[in-house]
Every structure is written in C-alpha cells, then in structure tokens.
C-alpha cells in the first residue's frame, strides 16, 4: 500500500503565498511516475487565520496557487478528517507558526513522522539570536552583533538614546537591524546614521519582541543547501547578485531584480569552506532533513561569515534550495522522495 503524505501548507505567516507555491511544486513532484508508485498526496491547507482545511478547498488552493476568497471557519483545534490518515507529514510552511517549531511540536505530539527539523532545530533556526548563540558556541565565523528586547526601544524615552549610543559604540555604521524571528527580509533595515538607526529599531520592534543589530559588511552573498539527518550533505554553492542596496523583500520577489549563479564562481578554497560551514551550521542548531544556509564572502579580506540558516527554505520550482540540488545531481522529484524518507527514518 502507498504511503499517505500530508502536505501541510499556507499558514499564519507573512510568507503564506510563498508556501502555497512551494506546496504546489512539491505536489507536482509527487505526481511523477516514480513517486506516484510510492506516495499518495493529501493536501491540508492552513488558512491565514490558522484554521486547518483539507478536501476540495485544499486541492483548489494548490491548483489555483492563490488563497481562497473566504477565510477558514470553525475551531482552531478541529482538524480535517483526513489528518488522522497521514503516514508522514510534509510541512512546507515558511516563517512564524510553521518554520519555528510550533507545528513541529503539534506533529510530534500526534506521533506521526514529518519532513524537516524537529522542535529544537526549527526554533533555533527561526530565532536569529538563538541561532547565533549556537553558531558562536560551534566556533563558526559571524559578524559582530547585539541583541535587544523591544521594551528597551519602546517603553522608556531615557533608555532609548543610551541604547543607540551603545549600538554606535559596539556595532557602528552601517548596521542591519532585524526582527529576530522572521524571513524574506521583512522588517529588516540598513542604517547608516543615527536617525536611520532610530527608525530601523522602531520598525523592527513592530514585528518582534526580540531584535538583532549586526555590523553591516560589503560582501558577496552565497547560499548552500544541506540535506540529511545526522550526516548531512552540502550541495554546490549558489550566488545571488542584485543592483539594490541589499537583498530586501522587493529584490527577492520581483521578477528580474536578482540573478542567481549556480554554481557560484567562488575561488575553490572558499567554495569548499562555505560547504563546510553550511554543514556545521546545520549541526549546530540540530536541524534535520533540509536547510538553506546563507553565507557572506567578504572579497576584500577573504573572510567568510555565516549569516543565517533557514530550516524550511523556499521550495518553488525556481527557489534556490531545489535548484542547488538539481545542479548537484538530485532532481526535484528525487529530492522530495529523499526528504520524505529522511523524515520517516528520523522518527524510527
Ligand atoms: P531569508 O528570506 O533568507 O530567510 P531573512 O529575512 O532571514 O532572509 P537575512 O538573510 O538575515 O534575512 O538578511 C536579509 C538580507 O539582508 C541579506 O540577504 C543581505 O542582503 C542583507 N544583510 C543581512 N545582514 C547583513 C549584514 N550583516 N551585512 C550585510 N548585509 C546584510
Ligand atoms: Mg532567514
Ligand atoms: Mg526564511
Ligand atoms: Mg537570508
């Protein structure tokens, strides 16, 4: 009998639409001959309000690749009937409420295997301060950074100028101000002066309680895909180039604003170094199954800095993660098969 794969997508996150497109690509891959012999697909859609829905609605969202006109109704704790028939879940949810360990906790309690990182790896990989602590502990190279809670930014007018002084002293300009728990560059700003820093802190604080401030560097941006559980493998390295100030939301999602080079024309030694750091980053946060690791190469100094890990990276037909594996010799449908098998193995 075939393995019932529960494709869990959408989600209460700013990256809802990307998730739908990732899920549609995975659904397509499950229909290829080899996969169709092994797997049966059950799509389960999580509405923007958090309600789970299966059946025709989930199928049509996948087909249309756009959210339905009406929000989900019913109770948050009512799951569609087919959710009880799943052998292995494939959560392809990006950002908060899905990539962060919350859904992974629910699936763990359900005692059903699932693709990707568990609770710890997901939570560590979502929170930029937590991940950086783990990376530092593992001795991985990173830019100087500082963490701050939102109450320091909002609650007291005498604390705020002192905080800005501290940032100027410890980090300097330019710096990047980021909400700790987001993705797709949402809420991130680059600050080159005091007034910009103040605005950036206020902006980031509107998204998250936890804020990170990093030294801004001028570097080439490369990404490496990791696949596996305890002995993860690294893909070829890809590189991104763009003409905007940084790789912000608009550059990421506007057709033609960024170019991907796969593989990256990095010097051989750096290429290998990036692959090694990517694997170590994966292990440092206890990731499983898949991750995309974002790394900076500062050409002027020859230094490599680990930026971040994404435990549920974009998985559309044109996303970096599957394209990197394609270039490494694993086709999209084969990649989906491997991820499901890794999910099953991890839970045995
Ligand atoms: P993703 O969509 O990959 O999950 P994210 O929202 O988690 O992204 P980051 O990868 O941390 O955000 O940063 C987004 C972009 O901002 C980077 O790709 C890079 O262009 C720029 N950036 C971030 N940090 C720095 C830094 N310290 N120095 C220079 N540029 C930076
Ligand atoms: Mg990220
Ligand atoms: Mg992300
Ligand atoms: Mg990134």
Q: Say how far residue 93 (Cα) sits from the centre of its chain.
A: 9
b/e 318-336 (16+ beta carbons within 10 angstroms → b) = ebbbbbbbbebebebbbbb
CATH of span 3-115: 3.40.50.20
pLDDT at site 264: 98
Q: Which is the closest atom of ligand 1 to the Cα of 182?
A: 6
DSSP category for residue 210: E
**CB distance 175 to ligand 1 below 6 Å:** no
Select from 176, 215, 221, 251 the residue to mutate for testing ligand 1; criterion: most ligand atoms less than 8 Å from CB: 176
Which pairs from 165-172 meet CB under 8 Å and 24+ separation?
167/197, 167/213, 168/194, 168/197, 170/144, 170/146, 171/144, 171/145, 171/146, 171/213, 171/214, 171/215, 172/215
Is the CB–ligand 1 distance for residue 221 below 6 Å? yes
Instruction: Identify the nearest ligand to the CA of 212 by its number.
Output: 1
Q: What are the E-state strand segments in 38-159?
A: 39-46, 52-53, 88-91, 145-149
pLDDT in tens, 216-239: 999 999 999 999 999 999 999 999
- Tell me if 42 sits within 8 A of 6, measured CB to CB: yes
- Per residue in 45-83, pLDDT (tens digit) is 999 999 999 999 999 999 999 999 999 999 999 999 999
Q: Is the CB of 185 under 6 A from ligand 1?
A: yes
Closest CA to 222 of 272, 283, 187: 272
* pLDDT, tens digit (0-9, with 9 covering 90-100), for 242-294: 999 999 999 998 889 999 999 999 999 999 999 999 999 999 999 999 999 99
- Which residue, among 21, 26, 19, 20, has the nearest Cα to 5 in the 3D structure? 26
Least confident of 35-39, 99-103, 149-153: 149-153
Which residue in this structure is represented by tokens 């499901």? Answer: 340
Sign of CA dihedral 212, 218, 221, 226: negative
The rounded percent of the chain whose pLDDT value lies above 70 is 100
The per-residue pLDDT for 271 is 98
Q: What is the pLDDT of residue 22?
A: 97
C-beta of residue 58 within 8 angstroms of C-beta of residue 347: no
Express each pLDDT in 83-104 by its tens digit: 999 999 999 999 999 999 999 9
User: Does residue 308 have its Cβ closer than 6 Å to ligand 1?
Assistant: yes
Residues 181, 147, 133, 121: what is their CA dihedral angle, to the nearest 10 degrees? -10
pLDDT digits (tens, 9 = 90+) for 106-138: 999 999 999 999 999 999 999 999 999 999 999
pLDDT at residue 258, as a whole number: 94
ipTM value greater than 0.85: yes
Looking at domain 145-215, which CATH architecture does it have? Answer: 2-Layer Sandwich (3.30)
Whether 157 has a pLDDT exceeding 90, the answer reads no
CA–CA distance from 142 to each of 76, 104, 131 (Å)?
A: 40, 28, 11
* 339 within 8 A of 291, measured Cβ to Cβ: no
Provide the residues around ligand 2 (an ion) whose CB is within 5 A.
183, 308, 310
Q: Domain residues of the chain, as ranges?
A: 3-115, 125-141+218-311, 145-215
Residue tagged 């912000």 (tokens): 248
Ligand 1 close to Cβ of residue 214 (< 6 A): yes
Specify the 3-state DSSP secondary structure of 40. strand
- Cβ of 91 less than 6 Å from ligand 1: no
- Provide the b/e sequence for 79-96 (b: ≥16 CB within 10 Å): bbeebeebbbbbbbbbbb
Mean pLDDT, the chain, whole residue set? 96
Task: For residues 292 and 276, give the distance between their C-alpha atoms in angstroms, rounded to a whole number.
Answer: 13
Give CA–CA dist 123/347, Å, rounded: 18
Q: Which numbered ligand comes closest to the C-alpha of 186?
A: 1
Helices 128-137 and 119-126: crossing angle in degrees, nearest 10, is 100
Q: Is the pLDDT of residue 158 over 90?
A: no
Predicted pLDDT at 255: 87
The backbone region for 55, taken as left when phi is positive above 0, alpha when psi lies in -120 to 50, beta otherwise, is left
Host H or E run for residue 128: helix 128-137
Q: How sure is the predictor about 155, in pLDDT bands with cuts at 50, 70 and 90?
A: confident
The per-residue pLDDT for 156 is 72
Specify the pLDDT at position 68. 96
217 ligand 1 Cβ < 6 A: yes
SS3 223: strand
* H or E stretch at 225: strand 220-228
**Residue in 18, 181, 294 to alter for ligand 1 test, most ligand atoms within 8 A of Cβ:** 294
What average pLDDT does this structure show over 290-319?
97
Average pLDDT over residues 199-214: 97
What is residue 237's three-state secondary structure? strand
pLDDT at 214 over 90: yes
pLDDT at 320: 97
Which residues, in sequence order, are bridge partners of residue 146?
213
Q: 125-141+218-311, superfamily in CATH?
A: ATP-grasp fold, B domain (3.30.470.20)
Asked if 45 contacts 54 with a C-beta cutoff of 8 angstroms, the reply is: yes
């Amino acid at each position: 009998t075939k393995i019932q794969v529960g494709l869990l997508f959408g989600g209460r996150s700013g990256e809802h639409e990307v998730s739908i497109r990732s899920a549609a690509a995975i659904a397509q891959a499950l229909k290829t001959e080899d996969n169709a012999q092994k797997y049966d697909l059950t799509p389960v859609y999580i509405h923007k309000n958090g309600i789970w829905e299966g059946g025709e609605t989930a199928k049509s969202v996948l087909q249309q690749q756009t959210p339905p006109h009406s929000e989900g109704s019913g109770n948050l704790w009512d799951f569609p009937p087919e959710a009880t028939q799943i052998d292995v879940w494939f959560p392809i949810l990006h950002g908060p409420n899905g990539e962060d360990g919350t859904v992974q906790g629910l699936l763990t309690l359900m005692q059903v295997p699932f693709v990707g990182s568990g609770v710890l790896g997901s939570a560590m990989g979502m929170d930029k301060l937590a991940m950086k602590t783990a990376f530092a502990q593992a001795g991985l190279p990173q830019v100087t950074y500082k963490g701050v809670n939102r109450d320091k930014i909002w609650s007291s007018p005498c604390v705020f100028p002192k905080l800005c002084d501290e940032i100027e002293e410890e980090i300097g300009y330019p710096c990047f101000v980021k909400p700790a728990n987001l993705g797709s560059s949402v809420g991130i700003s680059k600050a080159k002066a005091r007034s910009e820093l103040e605005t950036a802190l206020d902006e980031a604080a509107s998204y998250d309680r936890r804020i990170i401030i990093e030294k801004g560097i001028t570097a080439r941006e490369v990404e490496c895909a990791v696949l596996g559980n305890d002995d993860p493998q690294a893909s070829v390295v890809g590189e991104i180039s763009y003409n905007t100030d940084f790789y912000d939301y608009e550059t990421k999602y506007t057709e033609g604003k960024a170019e991907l080079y796969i593989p990256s024309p990095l010097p051989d030694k750096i290429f290998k170094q990036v692959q090694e750091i990517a694997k170590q980053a994966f292990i440092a946060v206890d990731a499983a199954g898949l991750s995309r690791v974002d790394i900076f190469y500062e050409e002027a100094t020859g230094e490599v800095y680990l930026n971040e890990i994404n435990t549920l990276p974009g998985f559309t037909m044109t996303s970096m993660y599957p394209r990197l594996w394609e270039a490494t010799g694993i086709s999209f449908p084969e990649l989906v098969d491997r991820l499901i098998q890794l999910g099953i193995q991890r839970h045995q």
